[in-house]
Amino acid sequence: MPPSVRFAILSWAAACSFGVAGCSGGGGAGPTAPAITNLQLQPRTAYESATPVTFLVGFDLFDPNRDVQSASFVLRTAGGQLVDQQTIPFTAPVASLSIAGSAAVPLPQIGTFDVEIWTTDAAGLTSNSLTTTVQVVPHAWSDLPADLVVRQDAAAAALDGQVYLVGGSRQDLSVFPGPSTTLVTRLDPATETWTTTTPMTVSRRAHTCAVAGGNLYAIGGEIAPTGIGFETDSVERFDPLTEVWTPVSAAPTARVHAAAATVGGRIYVVGGGLGAQQALDTLESYDPVSDTWATEAPMPHARHRPRAAAFGGKLVVIGGSNTMYSHVARVDVFDPATGTWSNELRFFDTPCTYLTNIAGQLYAGGGTNPTWLARAGDPELATWQELTGGRHANYATASVAATDDGIFVFGSSSAERYRVAREIR
Stated length of the chain: 425
Instruction: Look at 197-201, 274-278, 359-363 and tell me which has the smallest mean pLDDT.
Output: 274-278
DSSP 204: B
Spatial neighbors of 172 by CB under 8 A, at least 6 apart, are: 149, 150, 178
Range among 333-337, 375-379, 402-406 rated most confident: 333-337
Q: What is the DSSP letter of 57?
A: E
Q: How far apart are CA 333 and CA 331, in angstroms?
A: 7
Residue 197 pLDDT > 60: yes
Q: Bridge partners of 112?
A: 135
- What 3-state DSSP class applies to 119? strand
Predicted model pTM: 0.85
310: left (phi over 0), alpha (psi -120 to 50) or beta: beta
**Whole-angstrom distance, CA of residue 131 vs CA of residue 317:** 48
CA-CA-CA-CA dihedral for 310, 268, 353, 219, to nearest 10? 140
Domains of the chain, with CATH numbers?
8-137 (2.60.40.2550), 141-422 (2.120.10.80)
Q: Is the pLDDT of residue 14 over 70?
A: no
Q: Which positions ≥6 away from 213 have C-beta within 8 Å? A: 265, 288, 289
For range 198-212, the mean pLDDT: 97
* Best-predicted range by mean pLDDT (17-26, 83-92, 173-182): 173-182
Question: Going by C-beta distance under 8 Å and a sequence separation of 6 or more, which residues neighbour residue 77?
Answer: 2, 3, 83, 111, 112, 113, 114
Q: Is the distance from CB of 274 to CB of 302 less than 8 angstroms?
A: no
**Helix and strand totals (H; E) in the chain:** 0, 40
3-state class (DSSP) for residue 88: strand
Q: Which amino acid is it at 316? A: V
pLDDT, one tens digit per residue, over 237-264 is 999 999 999 999 999 999 999 999 999 9
Q: Has residue 350 got a pLDDT over 80?
A: no
Most confidently predicted of 49-58, 120-129, 352-361, 412-421: 120-129
Least confident interval from 10-14, 199-203, 382-386, 403-407: 10-14
289: Cβ–Cβ under 8 A, 6 or more apart, which residues? Answer: 213, 265
> In this structure, what are the phi and psi dihedrals at residue 183, rounded to the nearest 5 degrees?
-60, 135
Per-residue confidence (pLDDT) for residue 369, from 0 to 100: 59
